[in-house]
Structure 1
């Protein structure tokens, strides 16, 4: 592990404090003074690390996206003929923000950046690339399922998009407190891909 110096450590503390406050108060309502107080430094000290609130927001966005990769939640290499449906179902449940866990916090902050993306083309492009990463990840899962002989669908691209849309919308529904039986919805989605004898 590469040791980090005091400046880098403080920068990380500022980023993490900013993300906590963005989650609780929103990006617009979070001030640099609030972030400085959270870290235990003066507001002018922030400018030693970030030239403006906009730069801090940009770095916060990049920081959070490093922890939001398809492969962190859906492990294609763990799927095989015997476990395909169950594993895919479980990966989806583990991804969904069901409690105040790290993923809940992650998705809550990402929703803040989604709101900003209407006015910030860089955020919009990055979020679109994350969506494509999820679509491509699901595409690889479906191709593996076809190789294993457990998937009944042939239009892989459409079903990869369907999986990405369903999991994203279930996550958003949970975040806003929309009470649905998300486990059953995800199970039906997974089962719609599988051959009859492979259904869970």
Structure 2
């Protein structure tokens, strides 16, 4: 028999998958409870409404995304900067390919954000943080001489947008060389230094 903590984790995991596959509107707490193997009234012990469960998952996903772009620059040098950029993208691509539900549920939240300001504010905060993190990273690259100063903000925005859009294409199931695309994007921002 599962304890409360295990049941709670199973509810969250099951809701994540079912919301991703069926959407928020077509998934009920009763469906989640049935899949978990508990009664509908029992699920209310953990989440007293579907909206609370949706909110909880949203907050957890936002934390996970923000952790992804917590870049560290202290140990970066001209010699390892390119590899660091490549590794960031490769890790994000691998995570996206491994978790087939992430983009689906995230798109549900984007749709929800068009109707609910709380979600829109948080999504804007995430996007802004994403661009700021890439900007900080690329400006550090300028400081250490790994990147040319010219158009550094555009270069950082381009990398942020490329990796974000790769995630969207992975969602469609289109099989492309995503790591190769990321590698070319990274090379394009470093090329101007090599040509100087």
Q: TM-score range by the shorter chain?
A: 0.7 to 0.9
Superposition pairs of residues 145-184 of structure 1, within 5 angstroms = 145-184=141-180
Does the residue aligned with 1:50 lie in a helix, a strand or coil?
A: coil
1:131-163 CA-to-partner distances (Å, cap 9, x unmatched) read 111111101111110111010143333332222
CA contact (8 A) 1:84 1:145 kept: yes
Structure 1 position 9, deviation (Å): 5.2
Residue 90 of structure 1 pairs with residue 115 of structure 2: no
| Counterparts of 2:80 and 2:145, CA distance in 1 | 12
Say which of 127, 134, 143 aligns to 2:130: 134
Residue 32 of structure 2 corresponds to 35
Does the residue aligned with 2:173 lie in a helix, a strand or coil?
A: coil
Residue 104 of structure 2 corresponds to 108
Could you state the TM-score of these two structures normalised by the residue count of structure 2?
0.84
Structure scoring higher RCO (CA < 8 A, sep ≥ 6) equals 2
Structure 1 position 109, deviation (Å): 2.3
Residue 66 of structure 1 corresponds to 63
Specify every segment of 5 or more residues in structure 2 that has no aligned partner in the other structure, as ranges: none
Residue 120 of structure 2 corresponds to 124
CA contact (8 A) 2:21 2:104 kept: no
CA contact (8 A) 1:70 1:133 kept: no
Structure 1 position 64, deviation (Å): 2.0
Residue 16 of structure 1 corresponds to 13
1:42-82 CA-to-partner distances (Å, cap 9, x unmatched) read 11122222222112111111122222225467543453210
| Counterparts of 2:90 and 2:97, CA distance in 1 | 14
1:60-116 CA-to-partner distances (Å, cap 9, x unmatched) read 1112222222546754345321011122022102101577514x4333322222222
The count of residues paired between Structure 1 and Structure 2 equals 193
Change (3 A) 1:70 1:158: farther
